[in-house]
Structure 1
Amino acid sequence: VLNLQNFRGSHPVSPASDLNVALHECMAALDLFLSNKFSDALASLQAKTKDSMYHALTYATILEMQAMMTFDPQDIMNAGNTMKEAQATCQKFRKKSTVADSINNLVHRQSLENFTEEEIHAEICYAECLLQRAALTFLQDENMVSFIKGGIKVRNSYQTYRELDSLIQSPHYVKGENHLHFEGGVKLGVGAFNLTLSMFPARILRLLEFVGFSGNKERGLLQLQEGASSYSFRSVLCTMLLLCYHTFMTFVLGTGKGNVEEAERLLKPYLARYPKGAIFLFFAGRIETLKGNIDAAINRYEECCEAQQYWKQFHHMCYWELMWCFTYKRQWKMAFFYADLLSKENTWSKATYIYMKAAYLSMFGPDDCSPFGDNEVELFRIVPSLKLKIAGKSLPTEKFAIRKARRYLSSNPVPLPVPPLEMMYIWNGYAVIGQCPNLTEGMLETLIEAEEALARSSATELLADDQCVIKLLKGLCLKHLGKISEAEDVLNEITALYLICFCFRQNYKNYSMETRTHFRIQAALHQAKSAPENGMHSGASAVS
């Protein structure tokens, strides 16, 4: 454990100018990256990745940002391997300890009074490598066990950030020449840990607290906001993490109540500086989506695709968003078009893409011609055979699609009633159309038609399940239209179908999207606790 109280940031062992040069070159590389000059950015860093901790970290960080934006399995693997190599480079610059030192450190807290500024930067770069490796682990799988393993694995990173944060607060600390960059790194790490841990479901949070972790959402946001507003190497990383939180994490893992206004404020200066920057155009599209401005969002995603041609995988992220935009508009053919593009060009989850193609085909009217001769039943039947594992783990969305598609394997399949609208719920799409009454009313109309068609069909053992799915989605639409009483009536019809014997089933687990459900429950509980007493319905968006 490190004792940082006596550290003097100006201790000269390695010249501070070495850090200055490295930081200047790495910030220039980030500027190239944000200007869509991806290959130039990587090329400017690669030669020094074995000799400079900041070059190694920046090179690996760019690859990680690419992996996190594309979800491509190969990108994820490359980023993980490169980050591991960057960690090894950072290790070279950490203060060397003899065997005697190591034994002594077990008895006494290690003093950093003899550490150089370079060695302190090595500590934070090393901790950042661990943090980013953990983020990749979480990206690959939402399983609770993975979160726990990843959390324990980065305990050293967490402790280092806490102690470096204590250093900054200490009256004995003397700011080094590169203090702003060092402080930015602390704020990035402390903010990321606090914000992420605060989102964890109660049962896993209790386990993490047992091994020394804790998270505070307000502190996490404040640290990242302060890091984003400073001029440092990690300013843009703090900004991008906040943008991801407000536009993605709060929707996929939360109730859909992200701070869109804050996201716009954060994005504005970067859009001004990088008007053709693909990453920022993408976030601009995402913000328009969350505001319910679907046509404006479509324009932004198309502009993003036109802005650069080198990073083709980034186009796929836009295709995914465009697919959902046309789903919100109930333009099934256009949604099918983008699902088809993804199934042919992207390798993240062929099973999910083929499932969505089949799902959109199922929404075509009797007079619509099926493009390219695809048959929805045949497509559903091949979904289970496309199961993919990344680092030995299956994607939760893919597991869901495969389970749903299995009902088509029989010789007399029972069709899913509204498969794209059910998957839309998984991705919290009803919180999006809830911003636009005409889209919500249109979706409600489609659900009523599906309910009527289900009532006319032959009864099967899956009838109750299908009825409940439609009623759940109807309830969401009614809630977003402000028809709270009608929404409650529809949702109560679901509970009326719940068999008494199920009440006795204990410890039900391993169901589809279990972890995501627990994350949303946790977010809803936080929201309900923070809501005023007269805002009783505010917590209802747990199912939005």
Structure 2
Amino acid sequence: MDLQTAIQETQCALNLVLNNKFSQALDLLKPWDSMYHALGYSSILVMQATMTFEQRDIQAAMATIKDALQTCQRFRKRNSVVGSLSSLISRQANLQEEEMHAELCYAECLLQKATLTFVQDENMISFIKGGIKIRTSHQIYKDCQNVLSITQGVAQQSELFRQFEGGVKLGIGSFNLVGHSDVLRVLRCCHSSLNGFGLSQLREGASNHSLRSILCAFTLLFYNTYVSLILGTGEGDLAEAEALLEPYQEKYPKGSIILFYSARITSLRGNLEKARARYEESISSQQEWKQIHHICYWELMWNHSFQQEWQQAYRYADLLCRESRWSKAIYVYQKAAILSMMSAEEVERTGEDLRALFRQVEGLKQRLAGKSIPMEKFAVRKSRRYKASNPVPLVVPALEMMYVWNGFTIVGKRADLTESLLVTIEKVEEQLLKDPNPSEYHPDDSCLVQMLKGLCLKYLGRFLQAELCFTQVLSSESRIRYDHYLVPFTLYELGLLHKQQGDFIKATTYIEKAKMNYKDYSMESRLHFRIHAALNSLKGSPVSTP
């Protein structure tokens, strides 16, 4: 099959995936011996494997990637693409175009293999192997970018060149977005100049009408609806996300992935009721890939949690515990945290043993790329309170997890929900104040409650009261015994509070203090992502005081 036809067939397969016809897409791609069919087939299996975490799926995907790499290798030039730059410039024959696309497909397959290497084994050797594959892939993308810049004027009218350009922009854009400089360090994917270049490449790729345009669009959608929220200050570009999604909503109105992103954007805007209907529509649109259902269950669990509809939230948390393999430790902890928000009678009706659930968490912890997952470590540490013969119950653990996932930025868009959360928090605050027999965890619990109360007051515009709550946490620093993360996170929140009031000097001071003065606490990397984003947003801001 010639290259142009192979790309067209792969586009057809992508259309089938977006229309929920996953098996048909695989059937279309499997019989053909072309680099694009091989890449497309392995991409679908890798996506499935990373969603299921089933060893059987991971092994099948890994075998397919190895075949795909061999297929791409047959079309590659013996020397690297760098060595053939002069010939590529002088002769734009079909053979050279095939070589260019082979480099691109090979780089994409290497990234897929690195992804599976990370999830297949738990040791550091696998992590290093995956890192080497990522470095090789990145170098190929840089070589392809050089080809792109040098041949721009020669072949810009060629349809195959446009497809090549789309692939380069997807690769270079994604690498710059996550900060490729050292895969053994924490990925730095917040707002930096490197990041800005990555976003611009992805935006250009999304608009160039190539096979990979929708992949560029999906990368930007994920960035604006997840990365910016969880690892930034919670200010994703929702207008851009809506504009990116709109043409695909018209083309694939019943596509489960499209419906999911539509629901996610609606949820981030604060319209939780409308979002819930769209998540449910995404679930009912297809039954072949249950893993997409699980992503929707996770979001529905949070939507109900934001509204303190704990029984409905428990239902989805329970479904995730029973059906999904992604992170059993987090799912079980989340379910137990939600049950903790319910009355003793409601918990009894579920038939769950709350203490037993919390005790399960530590045994469910896993390792990814040879390292413990920070959120699982946090859940394990919090659960240890239930191992004692006389356990001290956690206070508002579901609201604490809501904060960890930056959910207060969504709740904060709704004054009614924020007021309702504040009422819940103040009831717990009163109970702690009246506790006749305070435990060793009492200072930590009181500080957590004050931080969450401060957040609610901030979103309700009651800035002075919010500041009092945050400073109360800081003044209790010496009394905190376990939850040391509370102080740097509170400093960060106090900085954002001053930023909101226009005092950028104080804002920077508090955020810098959180960055420089604390280390080795829970979710440190997550806070550093948020700090990085906050400090970047403060750069160039006019210096003013209230």
Q: Which bracket does the TM-score occupy, shorter chain normalised?
A: 0.7 to 0.9
Alignment of 1:135-284 (within 5 A): 153-170=133-150, 174-175=154-155, 176-197=158-179, 216-284=194-262
* 1:365 aligns with one of 333, 339, 343: 343
The offset of 1:392, in angstroms, is 4.4
Q: Distance in 2 between matches of 1:476 and 1:144?
A: 39
2:29 maps to 1:19 = no
**2:342 maps to amino acid:** F
* 2:36 aligns with one of 24, 45, 54: 54
* 1:463 aligns with one of 438, 442, 448: 442
**1:166 maps to amino acid:** N
Structure 1 window deviating more from structure 2 (349-358 vs 158-167): it is: 158-167
The offset of 1:135, in angstroms, is 5.1
Structure 1 window deviating more from structure 2 (128-137 vs 478-487): it is: 128-137
2:327 maps to 1:343 = no
CA contact (8 A) 2:178 2:187 kept: no
Which of 1 and 2 has higher RCO (CA within 8 Å, sep 6+)?
1
Q: Distance in 2 between matches of 1:145 and 1:463?
A: 43
**1:155 maps to amino acid:** R
Q: 1:369 to 1:355 in 2, by over 3 A?
A: closer
The offset of 1:77, in angstroms, is 5.9
- Identity in percent: 51
Q: Distance in 1 between matches of 2:238 and 2:532?
A: 21
* 1:496 aligns with one of 470, 475, 478: 475
Q: Distance in 2 between matches of 1:200 and 1:243?
A: 25
The offset of 1:25, in angstroms, is 0.8
* 2:537 aligns with one of 527, 541, 544: 527
CA contact (8 A) 1:383 1:401 kept: yes
* 1:131 aligns with one of 107, 111, 117: 111
The offset of 1:469, in angstroms, is 1.3
Alignment of 1:308-347 (within 5 A): 308-347=286-325
2:497 maps to 1:518 = no
Deviations 1:268-297 (A, max 9, x none): 111111111000000011101110111011
Match of 1:8 in 2: none
Task: Give the SS at the match of 1:460.
Answer: coil
CA contact (8 A) 2:121 2:369 kept: no
Task: Give the SS at the match of 1:96.
Answer: coil
Q: Distance in 2 between matches of 1:285 and 1:525?
A: 30
The offset of 1:216, in angstroms, is 1.7
**2:100 maps to amino acid:** I
* 1:122 aligns with one of 102, 124, 142: 102
**2:476 maps to amino acid:** L
Alignment of 1:400-419 (within 5 A): 400-419=378-397
**1:31 maps to amino acid:** N
Match of 2:68 in 1: 86
CA contact (8 A) 2:339 2:347 kept: no
Match of 1:110 in 2: 83
CA contact (8 A) 1:381 1:408 kept: yes
Q: Distance in 2 between matches of 1:399 and 1:132?
A: 27
Q: Distance in 1 between matches of 2:372 and 2:129?
A: 16
The offset of 1:193, in angstroms, is 1.3
CA contact (8 A) 1:83 1:133 kept: yes
Q: Distance in 2 between matches of 1:161 and 1:389?
A: 30
The offset of 1:154, in angstroms, is 2.1
Q: Distance in 2 between matches of 1:350 and 1:294?
A: 26
* 1:395 aligns with one of 365, 373, 380: 373
Task: Give the SS at the match of 1:154.
Answer: helix
Q: Distance in 1 between matches of 2:73 and 2:356?
A: 53
Match of 2:408 in 1: 430
**2:326 maps to amino acid:** W
CA contact (8 A) 1:144 1:204 kept: no
Deviations 1:503-528 (A, max 9, x none): 9xx99655432322222222222222
Q: Distance in 2 between matches of 1:530 and 1:82?
A: 49
The offset of 1:393, in angstroms, is 4.1
The count of aligned residue pairs is 501
- For normalisation by structure 2, the TM-score amounts to 0.83
**2:526 maps to amino acid:** R
Structure 2, gaps ≥5 residues long? 89-95, 488-515
Q: Distance in 2 between matches of 1:443 and 1:46?
A: 52
Q: 1:269 to 1:69 in 2, by over 3 A?
A: farther
Match of 1:474 in 2: 453
Match of 2:502 in 1: none
Q: Give the superposed CA RMSD.
A: 3.4
The offset of 1:435, in angstroms, is 1.3
The offset of 1:353, in angstroms, is 1.7
Q: Distance in 2 between matches of 1:359 and 1:483?
A: 28
The offset of 1:395, in angstroms, is 2.9
Structure 1, gaps ≥5 residues long? 1-16, 209-213, 538-544
Deviations 1:463-511 (A, max 9, x none): 11111211121122122222222222111111101129999xx996554
Q: Distance in 2 between matches of 1:350 and 1:178?
A: 45
The offset of 1:299, in angstroms, is 0.5
CA contact (8 A) 2:126 2:370 kept: no
Q: 1:131 to 1:500 in 2, by over 3 A?
A: same
Q: Distance in 2 between matches of 1:76 and 1:246?
A: 28
